[in-house]
Amino acid sequence: QVHLQESGPGLVKPSETLSLNCSVSGGSASSASFYYNWIRQSPGKGLEWIGHIYSSGSSTYNPSLRSRVSISIDTSKKYFSLKMTSVTTADTAVYFCARKGGSRGEPLDYWGQGLLVTVSS
Amino acid sequence: SYELIQPPSVSVSPGQTARITCSGDALPRQYVSWFQQKSGQAPLLMIYKDNERPSGIPERFSGSSSGTTVTLTISGVQTEDEADYYCQSVDRTNSYRVFGGGTKLTVL
């Protein structure tokens, strides 16, 4: 059974960099062909896709966040990471990591439980 | 930017049929997934590839597609089905994943 788990600081100061990790167990983050995604949900709002990284290391980002976001993958330690620079209070959200199969139409089938990140001084 | 449009809310009585729509001009060419999210929980995949149901999801959940609109149908709604439902697809260029704004299903 695949399990994803987010980790990182729950509080980040405005203008600083948010850094989160997502550990993948029950399957390596580097194995097979999967897309590893970050998604967030601001309090009381809907889901927003942040971006994904393919098992090969290529990444794609939401155009609205592209200038501040990067996603990387650590093939030896079975996790992938999110960095978001110059955060503001608008970046306060629950951050989810999720996995998607590599073929067309395959869904976001496994999700982490989510991690609340608050941006505040 | 590309958008998927969902009604903000749908209300039904227990045992009735709930239908939640999701509209987008790329949907004739792109698959849609549906997620259920209860308060404080991660989204749960209910339907993928427009009408496929993952193992463990009750048969009362089904999906259909017609042109630029896809529909999640819940037959014989139960009180436990009260939740937010999100559709998800990709944009016209098949590059970016997109979520609908979400529909709050209330079981009266």
A111 vs B contacts (CB less than 8 Å): 42-44
When CB atoms are compared, the residue of A39, A60, A114 closest to B96 is A60
**pLDDT at residue A28 tops 70:** no
Are A63 and A6 spatial neighbours (Cβ–Cβ below 8 Å)? no
When CB atoms are compared, the residue of A104, A105, A109 closest to B45 is A109
pLDDT band, residue B1 (cuts 50/70/90): confident
pLDDT score for A75: 72
pLDDT score for A27: 63
- Tell me which amino acid residue A5 is: Q
When CB atoms are compared, the residue of B42, B96, B100 closest to A96 is B42
Q: Do B99 and A49 touch (CB under 8 A)?
A: yes
Determine phi and psi for B43, rounding to 5 degrees: -60, 145
Residue A88: both structure tokens together: 């503001």
Rounded mean pLDDT of chain A? 93
Residue B65: both structure tokens together: 């597609």
**pLDDT at residue A30 tops 70:** no
Gap between the Cα atoms of B13 and B1, Å rounded:
36
Q: pLDDT (tens digit, 9 = 90+) per residue, B72-106?
A: 999 999 999 999 999 999 998 888 999 999 999 99
Q: pLDDT (tens digit, 9 = 90+) per residue, A58-107?
A: 999 999 999 999 999 987 758 999 999 999 999 999 999 999 988 888 99
Gap between the Cα atoms of A90 and B13, Å rounded:
37
Q: How far is A44 from chain B (nearest CA, A)?
A: 10
Q: pLDDT (tens digit, 9 = 90+) per residue, B39-62?
A: 999 999 999 999 999 999 999 999
Rounded mean pLDDT of chain B? 96
3-state secondary structure of A68: helix
B103 touches chain A (CB under 8 A): no
* Those residues with Cβ within 8 angstroms of residue A47's Cβ, 6 or more apart along the chain or in another chain: A39, A40, A41, B35, B37, B43, B86, B88, B99, B102
**pLDDT at residue A33 tops 90:** no
Q: Do A107 and B86 touch (CB under 8 A)?
A: no
Q: How far is A99 from chain B (nearest CA, A)?
A: 12
3-state secondary structure of B16: coil
Residue B79: both structure tokens together: 């009180």
**pLDDT at residue A31 tops 60:** no
